[in-house]
Amino acid sequence: MKETRLKILQYVSGIAIFIVAGFHILYSHFLKEDVTEWNSIADRAADNWWLAFYVLLLIFGLYHGLHGLRTIILEYFSISNSTVKVLDYVFIIAGLAILGYGTYIPVEAL
Amino acid sequence: MQAINSKNRNLPNNLGIKGWVWAGRYTWERYLYTLHRLTGLGLLLFITIHLGINGTRIWGASSWEDAMDILETPAFKVGEYLVVAAFIFHALNGGRLILQHMAYTLGKPKAPIYPYVDAMRQNRLLMWAVLFVIVVLAIFALVLFVI
Encode pLDDT of A65-104 as tens digits: 999 999 999 988 888 899 999 999 999 999 999 999 999 9
What's the rounded Cα separation, in Å, for the pair B31 and B34?
5
What's the rounded Cα separation, in Å, for the pair B100 and B50?
32
A-side interface with B, Cβ within 8 Å?
A: 2-3, 11, 14-15, 17-18, 21-22, 25, 29-30, 36, 38, 41, 58, 61-62, 65-66, 68-69, 72, 74-76, 78-81, 84, 98, 101-102, 105-106, 108-109
Average pLDDT score over chain B = 85
- DSSP code per residue over A55-66: HHHHHHHHHHHH
φ/ψ of residue B100, rounded to 5:
-70, -45
Encode pLDDT of A36-66 as tens digits: 888 888 888 888 999 999 999 999 999 999 9
What's the rounded Cα separation, in Å, for the pair A59 and A76?
26
Query: CB-based burial of residue B137 (10 Å sphere; 0-12 exposed, 13-18 middle, 19+ buried)?
Result: middle
pTM: 0.87
pLDDT band at B1 (very low <50, low <70, confident <90, very high): very low
What's the rounded Cα separation, in Å, for the pair B147 and B142?
7
